[in-house]
Amino acid sequence: MKATVIADHRGSTLWADGLRPGRMHDVTAARAAGIAGCLRHFDLVEILLDDGYLGLSRDHPGQAVTPPRKPRPGALVGRVRPWEDGRYDHSSDRITVEHALADHKRWKQLMRWTHRRDRLPDTCRAIAGLVSDRTATT
């Protein structure tokens, strides 16, 4: 099972929920959790996403920001260099989000889940609350 976690640029957890089977695509899970409605309601919010959310980037330009698309093979050097720079800038901004996601996974209870499957969602939400409280105080 996977959980959907949204964090801000400072590494604080903003929202954690949407447990789903591990075989579901990221963008499908985010849409099922209602992220499109949130983006429409909060039109000034900008979220940094990875390549798994290209569909959200297409549907919500300017709000859902994914890394720039790779140029075609044999592209001119004038197109490759800006792509590399844009990719670097995006990953530099997104690293704090990745650290926030890692905070949830470092809890020993989630590393080796051996309990009943129906208890996992409550445990994930409890850990998300603890991580969020800890990052808010630092």
Asked if pLDDT for residue 31 goes beyond 90, the answer is: no
Extended beta strands in 21-123, E state: 47-48, 64-65
Q: Is the pLDDT of residue 11 over 70?
A: no
Give the single-character DSSP code of 53. G
| Residue corresponding to tokens 């899970």 | 29
Comparing 4-8, 60-64, 77-81, 103-107, which segment has the lowest mean pLDDT?
4-8
94 phi and psi angles, rounded to 5 deg: -80, -15
**Looking at residues 48-59, what average pLDDT do you find?**
86
pLDDT band at 76 (very low <50, low <70, confident <90, very high): confident
Q: How confident is the model at residue 9 (pLDDT cuts 50, 70, 90)?
A: low
d(CA 36, CA 135): 26
**Mean of all residue pLDDT scores within the chain:** 78
Backbone angles phi, psi at 45, to 5 degrees: -80, 135
3-state SS class at 107: coil
- What the block records as the tokens of 85 is 């720079």
13, 7 in Cβ contact below 8 A? yes
Confidence of residue 88 (pLDDT cuts 50, 70, 90): very high
pTM for this prediction: 0.69
The CA-atom distances, in angstroms, between 99 and each of 11, 42, 91, 108, 135 are 7, 24, 12, 17, 11
How large is the average pLDDT for residues 65-80? 88
Is 137 buried (19+), middle (13-18) or exposed (0-12) by CB count in 10 A?
exposed
Q: Which pLDDT score, from 0 to 100, does residue 1 have? A: 54
Average pLDDT value for residue range 67-77: 88
